[in-house]
Structure 1
């Protein structure tokens, strides 16, 4: 099983961080491995929403659909793969660390199948490294570019 949890403090209010991070249209801007996101269901984001992602990880193109299974605006977003090569659940949580500073947590967990099962330890390491890089990127966007 892969279970990778990464967090970062972002010097922006929780409503700004959560709103930006929970918008799937922003994912290609701060996720290094995500190339595109297409809405399968109608906007806005809500429980049951589905989005098709195209990403590259470990040199492989991945196409998958995420379905929102839990959404509490400003607090938590949980998405699970509805289809794709690697069953995965991604969870974002946000809380106010202190006034004007938000702690954002990104957690990916799943159970690799087939060949992926063999490389699970390596995959966990690479995912943690990628997640740290992605969280640093969203921090930079939100703190410096002020969307």
Structure 2
């Protein structure tokens, strides 16, 4: 089974401000559901964070610890951050996009992935949980960008 979930939210702040926070891997644990730790484990070819960089995340999902590595496939500040898993329990593709909107920024998160083993059995629950998590992520992203504590 394949999961393909998208959430979007209009955030009343400029795209550059929202993207600067969301595209900084050091903020992952602050606004992304279940992420306990994120670490830049491989820099982009030119150094720092960009295409080819890898971030190792430790998360908890459905009561299980998950360690996975996302490689940056596209990085077009402030519009797009596209990442694919290169290590972890299941294939995953995560895309953040930030488009100008009359009321600020239209922020979107799309998560796609396959399910095997334990995750195949839990696929329907996972799809609902992913949808709920990324919806809350966008809410927390708005709060963090506005300088409020995420909740």
Q: Report TM bin, short chain.
A: over 0.9
SS of 1:12's equivalent?
coil
Equivalent residue of 1:19, what SS?
helix
Instruction: State the Cα distance separating 1:57 from its structure 2 match.
Output: 0.6
Q: Which runs of 5+ in 1 are unaligned?
A: none
Structure 2 residue 99 is matched with structure 1 residue 95: yes
Superposed CA RMSD in Å reads 1.4
Q: Provide the aligned length of Structure 1 versus Structure 2.
A: 145
Secondary structure, aligned partner of 2:120: helix
Question: Partner residue of 1:21?
Answer: 22
Greater than 3 Å deviation, 4+ residue runs: none
1:138 matched to 2:133: no
Provide the rounded CA distance (Å) in 2 between the counterparts of 1:30 and 1:139.
9
| Preserved CA contact (<8 Å) 1:30 1:137 | yes
List per-residue Cα deviations over 1:5-38 (Å, max 9, x = no partner).
0011111101001111011110100013000011
In structure 2, the gaps of 5 or more residues are none
Q: Which residue number in structure 1 is paired with residue 109 of structure 2? A: 106
Look up the match of 1:40. 41
TM-score of the aligned structures, taking structure 1 as reference length? 0.94
